[in-house]
Amino acid sequence: MAAPSPSLRTARARVKGLGASGHGAGHWWQQRVTAALNIPLMIGFIVIIAMMAGRPYPEAVALVSHPLAALVLIGGVISVTLHMRIGMQVVIEDYVHDKGLKFAALFANTTYAVAVAVACLYAILRVSLARLV
Protein backbone atom coordinates (compact mmCIF):
# COMPACT_ATOMS: atom_id res chain seq x y z
CA MET A 1 0.00 0.00 0.00
CA ALA A 2 1.40 3.40 -1.00
CA ALA A 3 2.01 6.05 1.61
CA PRO A 4 -0.49 8.92 1.48
CA SER A 5 0.78 11.99 -0.30
CA PRO A 6 1.84 14.80 2.01
CA SER A 7 -0.72 17.58 2.35
CA LEU A 8 -0.50 21.08 3.71
CA ARG A 9 -4.15 20.94 4.75
CA THR A 10 -5.08 20.14 8.33
CA ALA A 11 -7.12 17.09 9.16
CA ARG A 12 -10.11 19.34 9.95
CA ALA A 13 -9.83 21.09 6.57
CA ARG A 14 -9.71 17.72 4.79
CA VAL A 15 -12.83 16.58 6.64
CA LYS A 16 -14.75 19.82 5.98
CA GLY A 17 -13.59 19.91 2.34
CA LEU A 18 -12.53 23.55 2.53
CA GLY A 19 -9.92 25.05 0.24
CA ALA A 20 -7.06 27.32 1.20
CA SER A 21 -9.31 30.36 1.62
CA GLY A 22 -11.74 28.51 3.86
CA HIS A 23 -14.67 29.00 1.49
CA GLY A 24 -14.52 25.72 -0.35
CA ALA A 25 -16.16 25.69 -3.75
CA GLY A 26 -19.04 27.98 -2.76
CA HIS A 27 -17.71 31.12 -4.46
CA TRP A 28 -16.77 29.13 -7.55
CA TRP A 29 -20.32 27.80 -7.86
CA GLN A 30 -21.92 31.18 -7.13
CA GLN A 31 -19.77 32.75 -9.84
CA ARG A 32 -20.81 30.09 -12.38
CA VAL A 33 -24.51 30.24 -11.47
CA THR A 34 -24.65 34.04 -11.68
CA ALA A 35 -22.73 33.93 -14.98
CA ALA A 36 -25.25 31.47 -16.39
CA LEU A 37 -28.18 33.55 -15.12
CA ASN A 38 -26.68 36.73 -16.55
CA ILE A 39 -27.00 35.42 -20.12
CA PRO A 40 -30.83 35.24 -20.35
CA LEU A 41 -31.28 38.21 -18.00
CA MET A 42 -29.02 40.45 -20.10
CA ILE A 43 -30.76 39.32 -23.28
CA GLY A 44 -34.06 40.31 -21.65
CA PHE A 45 -32.52 43.61 -20.51
CA ILE A 46 -31.34 44.40 -24.05
CA VAL A 47 -34.78 43.54 -25.48
CA ILE A 48 -36.51 45.80 -22.93
CA ILE A 49 -34.12 48.68 -23.64
CA ALA A 50 -34.49 48.19 -27.41
CA MET A 51 -38.29 48.24 -27.07
CA MET A 52 -38.07 51.58 -25.21
CA ALA A 53 -35.91 53.21 -27.89
CA GLY A 54 -37.70 56.11 -29.55
CA ARG A 55 -40.80 55.82 -27.40
CA PRO A 56 -42.12 58.75 -25.42
CA TYR A 57 -41.53 58.70 -21.66
CA PRO A 58 -45.09 57.54 -20.68
CA GLU A 59 -44.83 54.54 -22.99
CA ALA A 60 -41.38 53.65 -21.64
CA VAL A 61 -42.71 53.86 -18.07
CA ALA A 62 -45.64 51.64 -19.08
CA LEU A 63 -43.21 49.09 -20.51
CA VAL A 64 -41.07 49.00 -17.34
CA SER A 65 -44.26 48.91 -15.26
CA HIS A 66 -45.16 45.54 -16.75
CA PRO A 67 -44.49 42.96 -13.99
CA LEU A 68 -42.45 40.64 -16.25
CA ALA A 69 -40.21 43.47 -17.45
CA ALA A 70 -39.68 44.71 -13.89
CA LEU A 71 -38.83 41.19 -12.69
CA VAL A 72 -36.32 40.71 -15.51
CA LEU A 73 -34.67 44.04 -14.67
CA ILE A 74 -34.63 43.31 -10.92
CA GLY A 75 -33.24 39.81 -11.48
CA GLY A 76 -30.59 41.21 -13.79
CA VAL A 77 -29.48 43.82 -11.27
CA ILE A 78 -29.23 41.28 -8.45
CA SER A 79 -27.42 38.70 -10.55
CA VAL A 80 -24.96 41.16 -12.10
CA THR A 81 -24.08 42.85 -8.82
CA LEU A 82 -23.55 39.50 -7.07
CA HIS A 83 -21.39 38.31 -9.97
CA MET A 84 -19.42 41.56 -9.91
CA ARG A 85 -18.85 41.41 -6.15
CA ILE A 86 -17.76 37.78 -6.13
CA GLY A 87 -15.42 38.26 -9.09
CA MET A 88 -13.72 41.27 -7.54
CA GLN A 89 -13.53 39.51 -4.17
CA VAL A 90 -11.58 36.66 -5.74
CA VAL A 91 -9.14 39.12 -7.32
CA ILE A 92 -8.68 40.94 -4.01
CA GLU A 93 -8.17 37.71 -2.06
CA ASP A 94 -5.62 36.47 -4.60
CA TYR A 95 -3.55 39.62 -5.08
CA VAL A 96 -3.84 41.79 -1.95
CA HIS A 97 -1.61 40.36 0.74
CA ASP A 98 -1.68 43.01 3.48
CA LYS A 99 -4.46 42.01 5.92
CA GLY A 100 -5.61 45.56 6.66
CA LEU A 101 -5.64 46.57 3.01
CA LYS A 102 -7.39 43.32 2.08
CA PHE A 103 -10.10 43.96 4.68
CA ALA A 104 -10.55 47.56 3.46
CA ALA A 105 -10.70 46.45 -0.18
CA LEU A 106 -13.23 43.69 0.56
CA PHE A 107 -15.34 46.12 2.57
CA ALA A 108 -15.21 48.71 -0.22
CA ASN A 109 -16.06 46.04 -2.81
CA THR A 110 -19.13 44.89 -0.88
CA THR A 111 -20.21 48.46 -0.12
CA TYR A 112 -19.92 49.42 -3.78
CA ALA A 113 -21.88 46.37 -4.96
CA VAL A 114 -24.65 47.02 -2.42
CA ALA A 115 -24.80 50.72 -3.35
CA VAL A 116 -25.10 49.92 -7.05
CA ALA A 117 -27.78 47.29 -6.40
CA VAL A 118 -29.80 49.56 -4.09
CA ALA A 119 -29.66 52.49 -6.52
CA CYS A 120 -30.70 50.35 -9.48
CA LEU A 121 -33.44 48.54 -7.58
CA TYR A 122 -34.79 51.85 -6.28
CA ALA A 123 -34.91 53.25 -9.80
CA ILE A 124 -36.62 50.17 -11.23
CA LEU A 125 -39.18 49.99 -8.43
CA ARG A 126 -39.85 53.72 -8.57
CA VAL A 127 -40.52 53.63 -12.32
CA SER A 128 -42.40 50.34 -12.28
CA LEU A 129 -44.65 51.42 -9.40
CA ALA A 130 -45.20 54.95 -10.82
CA ARG A 131 -48.30 53.73 -12.62
CA LEU A 132 -49.92 52.77 -9.31
CA VAL A 133 -49.63 56.25 -7.84
- Counting Cα atoms < 13 Å in the Cβ hemisphere of 130 gives 16
What domain count does the chain have?
A: 1
5 occurs within a structural domain:
no
109 occurs within a structural domain:
yes
pLDDT in tens, 28-82: 888 999 999 999 999 999 999 999 999 998 898 899 899 999 999 999 999 999 9
pTM: 0.77
Range of the domain at 76: 25-132
pLDDT of 18: 58
In this structure, what DSSP letter does residue 93 have? H
Question: Which long-range contacts link 85-88 to residues 24+ away (Cβ below 8 Å)?
Answer: 85/109, 85/110, 85/113, 86/27, 86/30, 86/31, 86/34, 87/31, 88/113
pLDDT of 28: 86
Give the length of the chain.
133
34 occurs within a structural domain:
yes
Residue 75, domain CATH: 1.20.1300.10
15 occurs within a structural domain:
no
